[in-house]
A and B are shown apart, each in its own frame.
Chain A
């Protein structure tokens, strides 16, 4: 799968057991075992959070759970590290604005 932004080199596993998740309401294909961050990268999406002060876009930075830049809201629960949380069928993944809570 080639997309305008991110890239997916896991085509061998495609269509065998792919499932759907949604990102901000739109359908995105996911492969089992991939984290939320990997699913979004494969779909060409590189940002899914805006910062609390500047409202600036953020996505993966460290990729191993240390930096907390990739925080995202999954199934209504904010502040999930997208690089650690596995995607599951039907996940409702949403861009996290600020703290992800209604302040």
Chain B
């Protein structure tokens, strides 16, 4: 199949871009791994649950507007497309996606332009007991509640740092879960120095504060979870106060009984597709210009992929990208004045995002306090002790630690353990290079090398191992 623009990711950025481009006559395919558009922020309950009002829904009015606009548009929405690679070839770009929950069959989509709106994923720094069932990421608890109306337990502690913890705690409380505490490692005394940049976020924050009060959720700032307890599943967490340097204050530990912990220490952008295409990164994020163009011709990026900043920023970036793509595909130079309101919203969003990032950096020295027997790499079951041993053997970067210990070689390809390895080793975290953005059956890969053969002669994907 061929289209003008393939948008990868149907969250706020992808939808905004698809709509902006389609309104200007561009043929758009909007592909996403989920069963419907919305991304994580606008995640909707599964249709079969018919649960109007039961799940937390963010930006309800914005979502209704986007959903209706999508339905009325020419955008070709393609759910259950798990994109594993985007290739640049003569005459355009080829998007490779595995289909449906089975993910055994791959399809190709050819496009003149690609927008990477791949979003982000949550990071959690390791602590003893973080692999126990009942310990989930804050975003994971949110996704399960929004999409499926289920919670990981009846008494939940929400912990870590960052703006995501507020909607997670209030969402769980509103769903009838007892939120035993909201444990935020940031010191609120640091807030005033960012007050100006965050002025636009204050009404939202005040709303969350009111809801926390209404649900009687105790808030512990400058605290952290030091240990999760349980055999086979979570029975409680020990929390402790932090000093000004981010170290645990001895003697402040206390046990909070709970059967679930929703924990998150921030987010990282999904950059695998961009890296395989050769796009330049800026730190962990895809580098883009004022039009949201990457440095690879035909490839744009918007939303969390270009830096974690939330839905409002993603909408603005997506809109700008969609308009730029529409102009560029026609061979005209865009007039940036035409999207001035979106550019202003983007500037405000980036200022606020930078302030939130500075405010919510996880405690320094967090890695020092991780005991040797704590698992760091969840997939390969590599402990902090093994990672430290790699350092004594001479490893000077996280890649060498990986080669010596297998930390980062498992199913998740280091997405979960990279921040933990960086914290324990003190090595700077570096974005890993992953040629494929997700696991691909060998049969699908084999078929790629035999494109000239008639389809009947190609290896059948379902014959590949799973």
- B70 interface residue, CB < 8 Å from A? no
Task: Say whether B149 contacts A8, CB under 8 Å.
Answer: yes
Name B143's contact: one of A34, A59, A64 (CB within 8 Å). A64
User: A64–B90 Cα gap in the complex (Å)?
Assistant: 34
Say whether, besides A46-B233, A60-B140, A85-B101, A66 and B416 are in contact (CB < 8 Å). yes
CA distance A9 to B143 in the complex (A): 14
A6 vs B151: C-alpha distance when bound (angstroms): 6
Give the number of residues in B that approach A within 8 Å (Cβ atoms).
52
Select one of B136, B151, B410 contacting A61, CB under 8 A. B136
Q: Can you list 27 residue pairs at the A/B interface with Cβ under 8 Å?
A: A5-B233, A5-B259, A6-B153, A8-B150, A9-B51, A9-B175, A10-B54, A10-B148, A32-B49, A33-B49, A34-B49, A34-B150, A38-B147, A41-B152, A47-B233, A59-B134, A61-B378, A62-B136, A62-B139, A63-B136, A63-B140, A64-B140, A66-B415, A68-B412, A69-B379, A83-B143, A85-B101
Known: A5-B259, A7-B176, A33-B47. A63 touches B151 (CB 8 A): no
Known: A46-B134, A52-B381, A61-B378. A13 touches B141 (CB 8 A): no
CB of A94, distance to nearest CB on chain B (Å):
15
CA distance A60 to B261 in the complex (A): 12
In this complex, the member of A38, A53, A54 whose beta carbon has the largest number of chain B beta carbons within 10 angstroms is A38
Knowing A63-B144, A65-B33, say if A58 contacts B51 (CB, 8 Å): no
Cα distance, A59 to B153, chains bound together (Å): 13
- In the bound complex, what is the Cα–Cα distance between A3 and B143 (angstroms)? 20
Distance in Å: Cβ of A23 to nearest Cβ of chain B: 14
B50 is an interface residue with CB less than 8 A from chain A: yes
User: By DSSP majority rule, is chain B's interface helix, strand, loop, or mixed?
Assistant: loop
CB A15 to nearest CB in B, in angstroms, measures 12
User: Which residue numbers of B lie inside 8 Å of A, CB to CB?
Assistant: 33, 35, 40, 45-51, 54-55, 101, 121-122, 131-137, 139-145, 147-154, 175-177, 232-233, 259, 378-379, 381, 410-412, 415-416, 466
Q: Please, how many angstroms separate the alpha-carbon atoms of A77 and B121 in the complex? A: 27
Docked complex Cα distance between A7 and B149 (Å): 9
Do A60 and B177 touch (CB < 8 A)?
no
| Contact A47-B232, Cβ < 8 Å, known A10-B149, A34-B49, A68-B411 | yes
Q: Once bound together, how far apart are the Cα atoms of A8 and B193, in whole Å?
A: 42
Contact of B378 among A13, A31, A69 (CB under 8 A): A69
Closest B residue by C-beta to A3: B154
Closest CB of chain B to A56's CB: distance in Å?
A: 6
Report the nearest A residue to B143, measured CB to CB. A63
Q: How far apart sit A16 and B49, CA to CA, in the bound complex (Å)?
A: 10
Q: How far is the CA of A85 from the CA of B416 in the complex (A)?
A: 21
Contact residues in B for A72 (Cβ distance below 8 Å): none
Write out the residue numbers on chain B whose beta carbons fall within 8 Å of the beta carbon of A56: 131, 381
Q: Check B143–A7 contact: CB distance below 8 A.
A: no
Residue numbers in B under 8 Å from A38 (CB-CB) = 144, 147-150
Using Cβ atoms and an 8 Å threshold, which residues of chain A touch B50?
Answer: 12-13, 16
